[in-house]
Amino acid sequence: MKRIVLVICILSMGSLAWAQAPSLGTAASFAVLGGTNVTCTAPGVVTGDVGVSPGSAVPFTNTGCTIAGGIPPATNAAAVLGHAAFLNTYDALVLTPCTQTIATAAFTGNVPALGPLPPGVYCFPAAVTFTDTTLTLDGSTNPNGIWIFKVGAALTGSGFQVVMANGAQACNVFWAVGAAATLSTSTLPPVFQGNILAGGPAGSVTITGGNLIGRVLANVAVTLTGTNIHGTCALVAQGVASCPADDDDKHHHDRDKDKDRDHDKDKDHDKDKDHNKDKDHDKDHN
């Protein structure tokens, strides 16, 4: 029932091009979440939690990667809920009406027709390949805008960079991939930004080299080799990353502590001088 309600809400928001980021629910706290297994091979760093559900005989293999977050089996219970939530979000994204349909199946080099792109829902009906391509997402019209890329089949990128411009935020970028997502380095070490949701029946994610800022969520396997995953979006969901509001609260808290210190000084002042003088004055008066 919840899944149906979510889809209805998405359809009604299609013309608004998503006024707010799609909710990943309990999947939001994961930097990497695989369905059958997650394999991480050095060198590489994953910042954020790693989970696997429903898993396989060997659901998590770490060969020399640095994992700055929770890993199986500690994350198993959360991964079960996260996997279901991720698939619900993927289904909703697939049903979202397109702002623009892009029929081109392969891009090589910087392609002016593909950028800078304002917030919207961009649809690739079938598989798409990017080779040494830089895709710029432009937040000048709305820094809090949402970008959704719907890929009907496989997403392949070699030296594929996603650049955020004019305040655009990586956490507001969603790649709904119908089959496998495969990213690798080519002529440069790319920085891919956004959340990859490979939610199709054969949805797996394989990344070799490079850096990714966002989340990696797959219905099947996740394979990382020499890749740095900056799970910034997952950390924000966990309330770990700092933000201006938190800093402001801390500032006010510090000011309150300073006031408390001043109050303590006043009490000490009364204790050492004024209050005693008042008592002496009372004695003289008597």
pLDDT in tens, 13-60: 343 445 678 999 999 999 999 999 999 999 999 999 999 999 988 899
| Same domain for 131 and 17 | yes
Range of the domain at 258: 245-286
Same domain, 131 and 250: no
Given this model, what pLDDT does residue 114 score?
78
Instruction: Say if residue 272 is in the same domain as residue 136.
Output: no
Summarised one tens digit per residue, pLDDT across range 150-206 is 999 999 999 999 999 999 999 999 999 999 999 998 666 679 999 999 999 999 999
Counting the structural domains of the chain, the total is: 2
In whole angstroms, give the CA distance from residue 226 to residue 45: 8
The reported pLDDT for the residue numbered 98 is 95
Give the pLDDT band (50/70/90) at residue 238.
confident
The mean pLDDT value for 225-240 works out to 91
Whether 42 and 173 share a structural domain: yes
pLDDT at 115: 75
- Banded model confidence at residue 87, pLDDT cuts 50, 70, 90: very high
Clarify whether residues 93 and 159 are in a common domain: yes
Same domain, yes or no: 58 and 132: yes
**What average pLDDT does the structure give for the chain?**
82
211 and 282 together in one domain: no
83 and 21 co-located in one domain: yes
Positive or negative torsion for Cα 48, 242, 195, 187: negative
Domain final position from 222, 238, 254: 238
